[in-house]
């Protein structure tokens, strides 16, 4: 019996992440961070001594990081499985003694680490060039977004060619249904509230988490549960469903 | 009868084969298109140490069979096994050497990087992986391209890379789909030598190809498939002394005018060359003797088609007739 050296292969997966997703992440990071940094540089002398202004600046930075983490997750997870299937790369990779679910589970972890690194880079850039505040708790926000949203993206990537369309469609449909059937008012709304992905709560909870405020642990568990469940379902599908179509 | 005998021989061997297709069918279904039956009731066994060829016209079902064997597709009915195990569990435990018709790897990878990655996935530990990569690069003569991205490689070099990665480890099973596709004549010959050198009592090989001459040279048996069905299995190692081809190309440099009289129905191809239909071996020899007795000088007598090609044509023709 000879098994693939997947642990050693992690370096190559990290390299793939950097080469394939690094450029779009860099562009998004620059587009989002650059105006913030320029604005912070302008107002920094005036606000550095004022407590309330400082809090406002921190909230603003967290808001930007929250938006960045959301977009970064979409970039980081898109096509994680489906690209290999559509392009036929799987034919060579999995003729080797490789466990397909393990291979992609590892890719999920590597991409998550890559996203954390990119968020850290944005934070360091803001700290160094914009405003001297470093917010390591913002990494928790990225992790929460990655596990909850990324888990669903992973599941979609195992079953569909255009996983980003499904991702966007699910998000949009959930928003519409929640608006049409508000949870407390109708019975349908209460049922839908449990069934639909709870991403409408992601932003608020993320900001609470990153800001060090008291957090709604039940909602965090709900978000993480959705992501982890979807991720595990994706692994089961990879184990049971053949890769060719 | 021949077909029946061959198919039965394949079915009999199924019980003892390393690779076994047992009444395998595969139908592709789609929401918007009618179902396509790619493989039907396919039974074949490939023994340990055997080199089996797989021949068939385009769309015959060869690629589907290989995808079934790699576990990339599930059969609609029947069973595919490798060493009495389903394909995926076998491959995840042992791996196989596989070369696909199209070398589908990330075009941004370098040749050397691709081999290093695939060596790790093949389960080769780090220092040894580099040595194996060097060895296969050397063996396939692709050293000068090692730093090139795959998108910059020619078809032939990509094919050599595909072969190189299949040979990274000493695999017990090798599946080669159109292995000489895109190779120049020198490398085609080297590939044939390579396959012969890989022949061991424990290594089983399946080679799918359109090149019947190649299959006849390399394989112990060749399965001919058409319209998803196994048409016949040709034993290419069987003694050929009693076989007579149905058509020959006869070249006569002196006394060519006697040929039409001695071989009724001979078709002139020009410059003293004729296509003749000899009947059986005794008739062929008697007529050749007549020709020589009349003072003709025969310089060549070559079967118009190889034995496998003749069988292939017949199998495909009869499958067409049955369809």
Better-predicted residue by pLDDT, A99 or B1: A99
Say if residue B6's pLDDT is above 50.
Answer: no
Any domain includes B159: yes
Q: Which chain A residues have a beta carbon less than 8 Å from that of B96?
A: 95
- Domain limit, last residue, from B191, B213, B235: B235
The stretch B200-229 carries a mean pLDDT of: 91
For residue A164, the Cα-to-chain-centroid distance in whole angstroms is 13
pLDDT single digits (tens) A123-164: 999 989 888 888 888 898 899 999 999 999 999 999 988 888
Q: Is A7 on the interface with B (CB under 8 A)?
A: no
Enumerate chain B positions whose Cβ falls within 8 A of a Cβ in A: 67, 70-74, 91-98, 100, 102-106, 108, 113, 116-118, 120-126, 129, 162, 165, 169, 175
Say if residue B294's pLDDT is above 70.
Answer: yes
B84 and B227 together in one domain: yes
Q: Is A164 on the interface with B (CB under 8 A)?
A: no
- Domain limit, last residue, from B206, B235, B264: B235
Contact present, B303 and B311 (Cβ < 8 Å): no
Question: Which pLDDT band holds residue B2 (cuts at 50, 70, 90)?
Answer: very low
The dihedrals phi and psi of B76, each to the nearest 5 degrees, come to -70, -40
Model pTM score: 0.85
Mutation site for A-interface testing, chosen from B123, B163, B171 by largest number of A Cβ within 10 Å? B123
Better-predicted residue by pLDDT, B313 or B118: B118
Angle, nearest 10°, between helix axes A51-77 and A163-180? 130
Any domain includes A225: yes
B14 and B150 together in one domain: yes
Interchain contact, A95 vs B91, CB within 8 Å: yes
Question: Which pLDDT band holds residue A212 (cuts at 50, 70, 90)?
Answer: confident
Question: Which pLDDT band holds residue A171 (cuts at 50, 70, 90)?
Answer: confident
Q: Which of A5, A20, A98 sits opposite B92 (nearest CB)?
A: A98
What is B157-187 written as a DSSP string? Answer: HHHHHHHHHHTSS--SEEEEESTTTT--HHH
Say if residue B15's pLDDT is above 60.
Answer: no
CA-based nearest residue to A194, from A184, A205, A204: A184
Question: Which pLDDT band holds residue A98 (cuts at 50, 70, 90)?
Answer: very high
| pLDDT score of B12 | 45
| Residue that is written with structure tokens 């299949």 in the block | B166
Question: Which pLDDT band holds residue B239 (cuts at 50, 70, 90)?
Answer: low
Q: Which of A92, A97, A242 sits opposite B105 (nearest CB)?
A: A92
Q: Is A87 on the interface with B (CB under 8 A)?
A: yes
Q: Is A101 on the interface with B (CB under 8 A)?
A: no
ipTM: 0.87
B116 and B167 together in one domain: yes
Interchain contact, B100 vs A3, CB within 8 Å: no
Interchain contact, B165 vs A92, CB within 8 Å: yes
| pLDDT score of A152 | 93
Say if residue B70's pLDDT is above 60.
Answer: yes
B216 and B278 together in one domain: no
Question: Which pLDDT band holds residue B240 (cuts at 50, 70, 90)?
Answer: low
Say if residue B320's pLDDT is above 90.
Answer: no
What is the nearest CA distance from A149 to chain B, expressed in angstroms? Answer: 27
Joined together, the tokens standing for residue B42 give 């396919």
Interchain contact, B94 vs A244, CB within 8 Å: no
Question: Which pLDDT band holds residue B5 (cuts at 50, 70, 90)?
Answer: very low
B176 and B199 together in one domain: yes
B209 and B257 together in one domain: no
Interchain contact, B118 vs A96, CB within 8 Å: yes
* Alpha-helix runs per DSSP H in A126-201: 138-159, 163-180, 187-195
B11 and B118 together in one domain: yes
Mutation site for B-interface testing, chosen from A91, A98, A104 by largest number of B Cβ within 10 Å? A91
Collapse the DSSP code of A222 into the 3-class scheme (helix H, G, I; strand E, B; otherwise coil) and give the result.
Answer: helix
Q: Which chain A residues have a beta carbon less than 8 Å from that of B132?
A: none
C-alpha–C-alpha distance, residues B267 and B285, integer Å: 19
Q: Is A95 on the interface with B (CB under 8 A)?
A: yes
The stretch B145-158 carries a mean pLDDT of: 94
B207 and B255 together in one domain: no
Least confident window among A234-238, B233-237, B277-281:
B277-281
Any domain includes B140: yes
Interchain contact, B120 vs A244, CB within 8 Å: no
For A224, half-sphere exposure in the C-beta direction (CA atoms, 13 angstrom radius) is: 13
Any domain includes A175: yes
B193 and B222 together in one domain: yes
Say if residue B180's pLDDT is above 80.
Answer: yes
CA-based nearest residue to B17, from B72, B85, B77: B85
C-alpha–C-alpha distance, residues A80 and A84, integer Å: 8
B58 and B132 together in one domain: yes
Q: Which chain B residues have a beta carbon less than 8 Å from that of A99?
A: 92
| pLDDT score of B202 | 92
Contact present, B173 and B17 (Cβ < 8 Å): no
| pLDDT score of A94 | 95
Integer angstrom CA distances of residue A142 from A30, A70, A116, A237, B199: 17, 8, 7, 26, 54
| pLDDT score of B1 | 43
Task: State the greatest distance between any 2 C-alpha atoms of chain A, in Å, as a whole number.
Answer: 67
C-alpha–C-alpha distance, residues B55 and B62, integer Å: 8
Contacts (Cβ under 8 Å, ≥6 apart) of B288: B298, B301
Any domain includes A1: no
Secondary structure of B146-162 as H, E, C letters: CCCEHHHCCHHHHHHHH
Joined together, the tokens standing for residue A190 give 């209460």
Interchain contact, A4 vs B93, CB within 8 Å: no
Say if residue B10's pLDDT is above 60.
Answer: no
Say if residue B121's pLDDT is above 50.
Answer: yes
| Residue that is written with structure tokens 């006394």 in the block | B255
B227 and B152 together in one domain: yes
Q: Which chain B residues have a beta carbon less than 8 Å from that of A3?
A: 93, 123
Q: Is A121 on the interface with B (CB under 8 A)?
A: no
What is the nearest CA distance from B312 to chain A, expressed in angstroms? Answer: 29
* Overall domain count for chain A: 1
Say if residue B235's pLDDT is above 80.
Answer: yes
Say if residue A195's pLDDT is above 70.
Answer: yes
Any domain includes B309: no
Q: Which chain B residues have a beta carbon less than 8 Å from that of A13?
A: none
Any domain includes B179: yes
- Domain limit, last residue, from B235, B257, B287: B235
| pLDDT score of B101 | 85
The stretch A43-48 carries a mean pLDDT of: 76
Q: Give the burial string for A100-123 (b: 16+ CB within 10 Å, else e).
A: bbbbbbbbbebbbbbbbbbbeebb
Q: Is A41 on the interface with B (CB under 8 A)?
A: no
Any domain includes A5: no
Question: Which pLDDT band holds residue B137 (cuts at 50, 70, 90)?
Answer: very high
Interchain contact, B126 vs A98, CB within 8 Å: no
| pLDDT score of A219 | 86
Q: Which of A12, A20, A97 sits opposite B94 (nearest CB)?
A: A97
Any domain includes A117: yes
Q: Is A14 on the interface with B (CB under 8 A)?
A: no
Any domain includes A2: no
Say if residue A1's pLDDT is above 70.
Answer: no
Q: Which chain A residues have a beta carbon less than 8 Å from that of B75?
A: none
Any domain includes B24: yes
Contacts (Cβ under 8 Å, ≥6 apart) of B286: none
Interchain contact, B106 vs A98, CB within 8 Å: no
| pLDDT score of B16 | 62
B220 and B276 together in one domain: no
Collapse the DSSP code of A215 into the 3-class scheme (helix H, G, I; strand E, B; otherwise coil) and give the result.
Answer: coil
Say if residue A18's pLDDT is above 70.
Answer: yes
Instruction: For A12, name the nearest residue in chain B, comparing CA atoms only.
Output: B117
Question: Which pLDDT band holds residue A15 (cuts at 50, 70, 90)?
Answer: very high
Contact present, B163 and B139 (Cβ < 8 Å): no
Classify strands B51-55 and B204-208 as parallel, antiparallel or unpaired.
Answer: parallel
Range of the domain at B195: 2-235
Contact present, A73 and A150 (Cβ < 8 Å): yes
% chain B with pLDDT above 70: 91
The stretch B131-153 carries a mean pLDDT of: 94
What is the nearest CA distance from A6 to chain B, expressed in angstroms? Answer: 7
C-alpha–C-alpha distance, residues B197 and B301, integer Å: 32
| pLDDT score of B51 | 95
| pLDDT score of A50 | 64
Say if residue B254's pLDDT is above 80.
Answer: yes
The stretch B173-185 carries a mean pLDDT of: 90
CA-based nearest residue to B194, from B214, B224, B211, B222: B214
Q: Residue B257's domain is classified under what CATH number?
A: 3.30.70
| pLDDT score of A45 | 78
Range of the domain at A222: 10-240
Q: Residue B112's domain is classified under what CATH number?
A: 3.40.50.300
Instruction: For A11, name the nearest residue in chain B, comparing CA atoms only.
Output: B117
| pLDDT score of B7 | 45
* Overall domain count for chain B: 2
For the ranges A98-102, A208-212, B193-197, B260-264, the maximum mean pLDDT occurs at A98-102
Q: Which chain B residues have a beta carbon less than 8 Å from that of A92?
A: 98, 100, 103-105, 118, 162, 165
Question: Which pLDDT band holds residue A202 (cuts at 50, 70, 90)?
Answer: confident
């Amino acid at each position: 019996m000879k098994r693939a050296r997947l642990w050693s292969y992690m370096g190559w997966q990290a390299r793939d992440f950097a080469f394939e997703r690094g450029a779009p992440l860099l562009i998004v990071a620059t587009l989002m961070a650059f105006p913030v940094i320029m604005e912070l540089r302008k107002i920094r002398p005036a606000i550095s001594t004022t407590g309330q202004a400082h809090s406002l600046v921190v909230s603003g930075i967290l808001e930007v990081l929250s938006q960045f983490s959301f977009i970064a997750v979409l970039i980081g997870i898109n096509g994680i499985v489906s690209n290999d299937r559509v392009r036929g790369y799987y034919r060579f990779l999995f003729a080797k003694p490789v466990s397909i679910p393990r291979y992609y589970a590892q890719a999920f972890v590597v991409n998550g680490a890559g996203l954390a690194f990119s968020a850290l880079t944005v934070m360091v850039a803001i700290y160094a060039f914009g405003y001297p505040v470093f917010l390591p708790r913002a990494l928790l926000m990225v992790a929460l977004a990655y596990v909850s949203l990324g888990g669903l993206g992973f599941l979609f990537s195992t079953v569909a060619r255009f996983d980003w369309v499904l991702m966007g469609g699910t998000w949009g449909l959930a928003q519409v249904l929640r608006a049409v059937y508000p949870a407390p008012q109708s019975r349908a709304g209460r049922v839908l509230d449990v069934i639909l992905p709870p991403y409408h709560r992601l932003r608020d909870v993320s900001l609470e988490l990153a800001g060090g405020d008291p957090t709604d642990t039940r909602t965090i568990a709900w978000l993480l549960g959705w992501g982890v469940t979807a991720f595990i379902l994706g692994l089961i599908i990879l184990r049971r469903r053949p890769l060719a179509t | 009868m021949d077909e029946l005998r061959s198919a039965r021989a394949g079915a009999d061997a199924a019980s003892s084969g390393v690779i076994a297709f047992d009444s395998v069918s595969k139908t592709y279904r789609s929401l918007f298109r009618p179902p396509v039956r790619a493989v039907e009731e396919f039974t074949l066994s490939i023994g340990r140490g055997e080199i089996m060829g797989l021949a068939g016209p385009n769309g015959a079902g060869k690629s589907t069979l290989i995808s079934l064997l790699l576990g990339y597709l599930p059969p609609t009915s029947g069973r595919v096994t490798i060493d009495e195990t389903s394909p995926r569990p076998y491959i995840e435990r042992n791996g196989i050497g596989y070369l696909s018709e199209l070398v589908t790897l990330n075009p941004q990878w370098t040749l050397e990087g691709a081999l290093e990655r695939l060596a790790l996935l093949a389960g080769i530990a780090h220092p040894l992986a580099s040595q194996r990569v060097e060895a296969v690069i050397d063996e396939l003569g692709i050293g000068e391209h090692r730093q090139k991205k795959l998108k910059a490689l020619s078809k032939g070099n990509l094919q050599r890379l595909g072969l190189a990665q299949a040979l990274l480890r000493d695999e017990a099973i090798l599946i080669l789909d159109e292995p000489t596709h895109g190779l120049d004549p020198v490398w085609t010959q080297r590939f044939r030598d390579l396959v012969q050198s890989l022949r061991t009592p424990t290594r089983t090989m399946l080679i799918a190809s359109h090149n019947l001459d190649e299959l006849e040279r390399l394989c112990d048996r060749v399965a001919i498939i058409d319209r998803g069905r196994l048409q016949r299995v040709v034993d290419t190692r069987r003694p050929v002394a009693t076989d007579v081809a149905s058509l020959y190309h006869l070249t006569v440099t002196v006394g060519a005018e006697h040929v039409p009289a001695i071989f009724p129905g001979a078709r002139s191809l020009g410059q003293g060359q004729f296509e003749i239909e000899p009947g059986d071996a005794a008739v062929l020899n008697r007529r050749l003797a007549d020709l020589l007795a009349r003072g003709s000088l025969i310089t060549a007598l070559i079967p118009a088609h190889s034995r496998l090609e003749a069988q292939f044509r017949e199998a495909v023709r009869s499958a067409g007739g049955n369809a």
